[in-house]
Amino acid sequence: MIRKWLTTLTALLLAVMLPVCALADTQHTFSVIPGDAMPMDQAIVDLLDCLSLTFVQGKESGALTVNVSDELILMIGATADVTGLYAQSNILSDDVLYVTWDDAFAVISQVMAAQMDASEAQMMQQMMDQYKQMIVTALQTGVQPAQTATMEEGIAAVKEMFKDDPGMAEYVENIYSDLTNEAGVFTAEGRDAATGKQTLKMDNEDLLAICDTNYMRSIVEQIVSSEAPELTGDDLAKATDAVLEEMRQVYRDMELNATVTVYTVDDGMTIVGLEMDMPMTVTATYTDENGAEQTDKVNVVMNMNYDRLTDANGVSHKAGMVMNMDEQKAAEIAFDLYKGADGVSTGSLAMLVEGEEITVLYKAANDGDLRARRADLYLRSGAAAIIEPAASARPIIGFSVITEPADPAMLKALEEANSDTAVNVMKLSEEQMNELVSGVETRAMQLVYTAMSKLPASVMTMLMNSAN
C-alpha cells in the first residue's frame, strides 16, 4: 500500500510539473496581491504578502517551490524520459525517486479500478493506456513536434497516438485531409502580410463522425455513470448508447457550416491571422407541461478573429469572439496585447456575459535580467459593452510574476538522473520502504515548524484561534 501511494504521488508530481517544464524562462516567482475592492482580514493580507510560489525550469526538468517570507519551505521537482518519470522533493528524500511508466499507470489504474465495476475498469484501463502512449509518443518526438512535423508525419503521429481507437485516428486524419493550402501574398488592414493561407470547412457530418469513436464513447459513459452510479454492465452500455444516439440526432438536425481560415508566415509555422465564421441552427425537441411535443430552433452565430501586426516599436496581438443567439449578443471576448521591442508589454483580456464584464489588465517590464509582470482583475455589473476600466477603478485582486535566472544547482540531481542512478520505489524492500516513509514524516514535521517560524504574528494568531 505504501509503495502504491509513493508511486501514485510520483505520477501526480509529474502531471503537475510537465506544464512547468514548458515555460520559457528559468525562474518565475508568483504572488497574490489583495485588491482594494476585496475586503480581507489583515491576517489573510499578511499571509498573501509573505507567501509565494516559484516555478523553476531546467533543460529537461521543472520544479515548484513554496516560499514563506522569502525562505524556501517546500521543493517538488520532476522530469521524464521514454522509460519512466523521476521526482525529487525535500519532503520525500535527498535521492531522486524513479518509477517506470508501466508501473506508474498500473498503480493508478488499480487505485481507480477499486472504485469501479468490471466494465468501468476496462474502459478506464483503455483510456489510461491511450494516455500513457500519448505521453511516450510526445517524449519520443519532442516537446513541440507540431512545429517541425510535415502533414504526413503529423498524421502518422496521430495514428500511433490513437492506435487503439481507429475511429478517432480517422477523424483527425480527415481534418488534416480537408485542409486546403494556398501560397501567395495575403494582406489585410491591421494584419501582417501572410505568405500562406489554410482553410477548413466543417459541417454537422464532422460532428457525427466523432460520435463513433471510442474516445467520445468513454466520455459519455463516464458522464452517464456519474449521473446514474447504479447502472453497470449491459445497463450502463445501453444508457450510453441512448445518449450517443440523442447526440447523433441533434447533430443530424443541426445546420452547421463553419469556415476557419488561418494566415501564416515562415512556411506555415507562424500564425499572423485567423478568421472563423460558425453559423448554426440547433433544433431542440421537448415535451411541454401539457404533454405535447414541441420543437424549438435556435440560431447561433459565432465569429472569432485574430490579427498580428508588427511595427518598429513592437508587435500587436488582437483577438475577439462574439456569439449571438437569435440575433441577440450572448457573449463577447476581447484580447489586446502589445509586446514592445523595449521589453515593456501592456494588454487586456475582457469577457462579457449577461451584463457581467470581467477584465484583466496586464503590464510587464524588464529591469536588467529581471522581468516583472502584473495582472489585475476587475469586475463590472450592468455592462452593455466591453469597456476598459477607468483609471480610478479598483481591482478586485492582483497577481505578480517575477522572472529571473535560477540557481542551476536546484535541478542538478534531476537533470543527471537516470534509471540506474535513481531510486526505483517499486524495487524497494519492505524495510527500505518503511525507512523512506519514516523519513517523510520527520521531514514534514521539520518543514511545518520552519514555515510557522516564518509566518507573521497575525497569521499565527489566526491559526491558533481557528484551532481552538
Residue that the C-alpha cell 469597456 belongs to: 387
Alpha helices in 93-232 (DSSP H): 101-113, 118-141, 151-161, 166-178, 204-210, 214-227
Q: Which three cell numbers stand for residue 96?
A: 531522486
CA distances to 52, 111, 187, 189, 456 from 49, rounded to whole Å, are: 8, 38, 49, 45, 10
Q: Angle between the 118-141 and 101-113 helix axes, to the nearest 10 degrees? A: 160
Residue 437 has φ and ψ, to the nearest 5°, of -65, -40
End-to-end CA distance of the chain: 34
CA nearest to 437, candidates 59, 130, 93, 138: 93
Contact between residue 66 and residue 79 where contact means Cβ atoms under 8 Å apart: no
What amino acid occupies position 464?
M
Strands (E), 176-292: 180-188, 191-203, 255-265, 270-287
pLDDT of 328 reads 84
Helix/strand/coil percentages in the chain, nearest 5: 40, 40, 20
pTM above 0.85, yes or no: no
CA distances to 6, 95, 149, 412 from 104, rounded to whole Å, are: 10, 18, 29, 24
What amino acid occupies position 13?
L
Residues 6 or more apart whose CB falls under 8 angstroms from that of 325 comprise 298, 299, 300
Gap between the Cα atoms of 30 and 118, Å rounded: 44
CA nearest to 278, candidates 352, 204, 351: 204
pLDDT of 21 reads 41
In the chain, which stretches have pLDDT less than 50? 1-25, 143-148
Is 341 exposed, middle or buried (CB count within 10 Å of its CB: 0-12, 13-18, 19+)? exposed
pLDDT of 143 reads 43
CA distances to 49, 157, 223, 242, 246 from 217, rounded to whole Å, are: 47, 22, 10, 11, 13
Q: How far is CA 97 from the centre of its chain?
A: 26
pLDDT of 351 reads 94
Gap between the Cα atoms of 205 and 256, Å rounded: 9
CA distances to 85, 369, 410 from 26, rounded to whole Å, are: 21, 11, 11
Q: Which three cell numbers stand for residue 392?
A: 480610478
Is 200 exposed, middle or buried (CB count within 10 Å of its CB: 0-12, 13-18, 19+)? middle
